Structure 1
Amino acid sequence: MKNIFYSALLFMALTVQSQDTIMPLWPDGKIPNQLKTDEKEIHKNEGILIISKVQKPTIEVYLPSQRNATGEAMLIFPGGGYAVLAYDWEGRDIAKFLNSKGIAGIVVKYRLPSDATQTDKQNVPLIDAQRAMRLVRSKAEAWNIKKDKIGIIGFSAGGHLASTLGTHFDEKVYAIVDEADNESARPDFMALGYPVITFGLNTHGGSKKNLIGENPSEAMVEHFSNEKHVSSNTPPTFLIHAADDGAVPVENSLLFFQALRDNGVFATMHIYPKGGHGFSLARNDNHLRGWTERLFEWIESLR
């Protein structure tokens, strides 16, 4: 009987611990720009976990063992054209890989722009991204993370969101809801994988349409073309892209890198001759998969 009792306690402890790895971004009833509807979140797994119609944004926290931890963390923004999230391919898998290097990986399940469920939909992903950064900073001590070593990584449209956070981190897009919102939303460093950057020439049409609509104003296009908003305060940036990317032209990364150089921002860019779009960790490509080691070398250079 005693063994059963202790087994039950252990099970409860493990259950609580596992539940603690996923946290809502917002307190109940305080999600900004959210309309009350009957729309439900959709999860489909066809080799990759695809999430759409996100209703309750979360962060999913993966921490390395304390002995391996460097104190660094990265928030991860999966791509999907602002229509879906490639949640494990460009999210959970990245977090686990970061853990292997002692870095905390925090997957952000951010809301996707929707006229049906949101007001000012173009601001909603940035609202969630700013909140995620502030929430993680507020939990840094509890998670053995250094407040000044919290970076971001985003892929494709998630790279657009990451670069939006990196260039619009001080833009006021929502009202303070609790003490966490007193933290800075500025990332300490930024990595962008085959990112959508511009909404001008060479953009990704689907990401642009989903975020700012079919016929956006010139001011809206300008506002979300992130190469135009780089400043000397933009975080140090690491870029990867394949020259043969047929979905998001390599010019997106080239534009951003040039803007970083023009503003004196510490930056590194790796352009691979082939790889296409959406290669994630690229584990099946002996050459391309080296980008992960280049990322860790670059992060070490920031220490």
Structure 2
Amino acid sequence: MKRIFFLLQWIMFISIGGYAQVIVPLWDIKDLPNYQKSNDKEVIPPKDITFIMKVQTPTLEIYLPSKQSSNGKGILIIPGGGYGGVAYDWEGTDVAKWCNSMGLSAFVLKYRMPQAASVKVGHKAPIQDAQRAMRYIRSRADEFYIDKDQLGVIGFSAGGHLASTLGTHQEIYYDDNDAIDKEDFHPNFMMLIYPVITMEKGVTHMGSRNNLIGKNPSEEMIKKFSNELQISDTTPPTFLLHSGDDKAVPVENSIRFYQALLKAKRVADMHIYPAGGHGFGLGKSNKDAPDWREIAEDWLNRK
């Protein structure tokens, strides 16, 4: 059954020539970890952006440049949404198109939410999906025109927290299931855009904290998911970007992570803009938002 499931994915992929985007599930539903049956259905409320709530089936949407344009790098894109949903186009597919323009193969993650009725243990679901996504991409690296050692992650807001969890936690959050799970899940570089980093009150984004670890978390859980405390000598090179007037996710989140990276003698590049607020995506949302793509492209070219 597994063979048929992934064969169908492969047929769907090659049938479009590998150049257009295609969406693939990360698991066969019977193998989905941390799952229980529920009446939940995915919801996309009316908004200016595509915001997906109550995610039931974690997926990757694959965006590939032409083979001739590929630079051998890949990037997993994790949109934000306060661990209550996924800002799918604003911080996902729009970013993928930009990445393709630079020659990167891009993969947009639609991940499960901790509070979903179909999830058994809330805090595990997002990182399970992110770890599986990295392994899935590496398992098909040749098909996606990438070098396994040139696969990074970019995350926005709460997606930045999930990206930093992927890059700092050593724990494997689900049992190996198939050949895909023999691959490494760690990113080779991280790009964290106005990220939630810490779970400490007064600094964190409380909505993200409440959704991920609950309203009355233990001190152990607070420390475990305060990712400035999880940096080690394996944490990859990191690009950080934030605005000083961010009222939703204080800039101290990025500053703490940057300082912890320096203390651990890890490679870090941080850019703080005086204005821009929160949730500015690629920087075109308003006249005060930073257009940060040029400095990010320069950083990526040096990876």
Cross-structure match for 1:248: 249
Q: Distance in 2 between matches of 1:287 and 1:206?
A: 25
- Worse-superposed segment, 65-74 or 244-253: 65-74
What does 1:155-166 align with in structure 2 at a 5 Å threshold?
155-166=156-167
Cross-structure match for 2:180: 180
2:204 maps to a residue whose letter is: T
Cross-structure match for 1:81: 82
Cross-structure match for 2:6: none
What does 1:1-303 align with in structure 2 at a 5 Å threshold?
21-114=22-115, 116-168=117-169, 170-201=170-201, 202-283=203-284, 288-302=289-303
Normalising by the residue count of structure 2, what TM-score does the alignment of the two structures yield?
0.91
SS of the residue 2:95 aligns to: helix
SS of the residue 2:29 aligns to: coil
Contact 2:76 2:108 in 1 (8 A): yes
Q: Distance in 2 between matches of 1:268 and 1:19?
A: 32
Q: Distance in 2 between matches of 1:290 and 1:301?
A: 19
Larger radius of gyration: 1
Q: Distance in 1 between matches of 2:116 and 2:141?
A: 34
Gaps of 5+ in 1: 1-12
1:214-238 deviation line (CA, Å, top 9, x unaligned) = 1000000000000000011101000
Q: Distance in 2 between matches of 1:160 and 1:247?
A: 14
RMSD: 1.7
Normalising by the residue count of structure 1, what TM-score does the alignment of the two structures yield?
0.91
- Give the superposition deviation at 1:172: 2.0
- Give the superposition deviation at 1:115: 5.6
1:160 maps to a residue whose letter is: H
Query: Cα gap change, 1:253/1:131 in structure 2, threshold over 3 Å: closer, same or farther?
Result: same
Q: Distance in 2 between matches of 1:129 and 1:119?
A: 17
Cross-structure match for 2:8: none
Q: Distance in 2 between matches of 1:129 and 1:227?
A: 19
Gaps of 5+ in 2: 1-13
SS of the residue 1:44 aligns to: coil
Q: Distance in 2 between matches of 1:76 and 1:177?
A: 23
2:154 maps to a residue whose letter is: I
SS of the residue 1:43 aligns to: coil
Q: Distance in 1 between matches of 2:294 and 2:286?
A: 14
Contact 2:20 2:63 in 1 (8 A): no
Q: Distance in 1 between matches of 2:64 and 2:86?
A: 22
Query: Cα gap change, 1:293/1:16 in structure 2, threshold over 3 Å: closer, same or farther?
Result: closer
Query: Cα gap change, 1:41/1:16 in structure 2, threshold over 3 Å: closer, same or farther?
Result: farther
1:269-295 deviation line (CA, Å, top 9, x unaligned) = 000000000000112556744311111
Count of residues paired in the alignment: 289
1:199-250 deviation line (CA, Å, top 9, x unaligned) = 0140100000000011000000000000000011101000000000000000
SS of the residue 1:91 aligns to: helix
Query: Cα gap change, 1:15/1:266 in structure 2, threshold over 3 Å: closer, same or farther?
Result: closer
- Give the superposition deviation at 1:46: 2.2
